[in-house]
A and B are shown apart, each in its own frame.
Chain A
């Protein structure tokens, strides 16, 4: 019961990955691509925590914390570069 619902939610996150990847390849400006990358990272943080449930490893949550911090710093740096203040 529980594992079935979690597998269904993993599939839904996979479908949203495909949709966001379409916007990432198709996006008309740089900011579009950066927003798509941000959404990909945030949803993959949730996906890594789901994998931690399926593999029974608590250490994967640390991986997702580091991934969230790196994505935040990356987006801030790209935005500062676009604003020509870096």
Chain B
């Protein structure tokens, strides 16, 4: 799978170099980078303003993932010879960042950090209670 992705990226790099002039590519890359840094700023504001740990995880991680992807893609358009490594980095960020945020939210819920008062539905709580009783019976 990574081999196929790298082959596709090499093909994309060659076609980009042939089809467009360097100036247009660089301006498009700079605009993408500006958009990505704005998304990182939104992530920071969400991290400050949200009322709850879980809301903060949601706001911070999703927006910062999109922002870093756009930033990396913009720099990759500015320098098409780095596009292979940057593609691998984007693939790793797409795979790893939602996994780490999911594990963090699960750990926060299992450690007993309370939800905000405006939350009404908590489906994970029933599952957690069931698992805890199973563990106690085993002991």
B15-40 contact mask (Cβ, 8 Å, vs A): 1 or 0: 00000000000110111011011101
Q: Which residues of B contact A62 (CB under 8 A)?
A: 85
How far apart are the CA atoms of A15 and B86 in the complex, in Å?
24
Interface size class of B (residues with CB under 8 A): 35 or more
Q: Residues of A within 8 Å of B, CB-based: how many? A: 47
How far apart are the CA atoms of A80 and B108 in the complex, in Å?
10
Interface residues in B50-91 by Cβ distance below 8 A to A read 53, 56-57, 60-61, 64-65, 67-68, 71-72, 75, 78-79, 81-82, 85-86, 88-89
Closest approach, in angstroms, between the C-beta of A34 and any C-beta of chain B? 6
- A42-B93 contact in complex given A31-B107, A62-B85, C-beta closer than 8 Å: yes
Q: How many A-B residue pairs have CB under 8 A?
A: 168
Q: Which residues on A are within 8 Å of B, measured CB to CB? A: 1-2, 5-6, 8-10, 12-13, 15-17, 19-20, 22-23, 29, 31-32, 34-36, 38-39, 42-43, 45-46, 49-50, 52-53, 58, 61-62, 64-65, 68-69, 72, 75-76, 79-80, 82-84
- A6-B33, A35-B56, A42-B64 given; 5 more Cβ-contact pairs under 8 Å: A39-B61, A46-B68, A49-B72, A52-B75, A64-B89
Is there contact, CB below 8 Å, between A39 and B47? Answer: yes
Contact residues of B: prevailing secondary structure: helix
Is there contact, CB below 8 Å, between B107 and A46? Answer: no
Contact residues of A: prevailing secondary structure: helix
Return the contact of A38 from the options B36, B38, B60, B85 (Cβ within 8 A): B60
Q: Which residues of B contact A1 (CB under 8 A)?
A: 27, 30
Return the contact of A12 from the options B40, B64, B88, B101 (Cβ within 8 A): B40
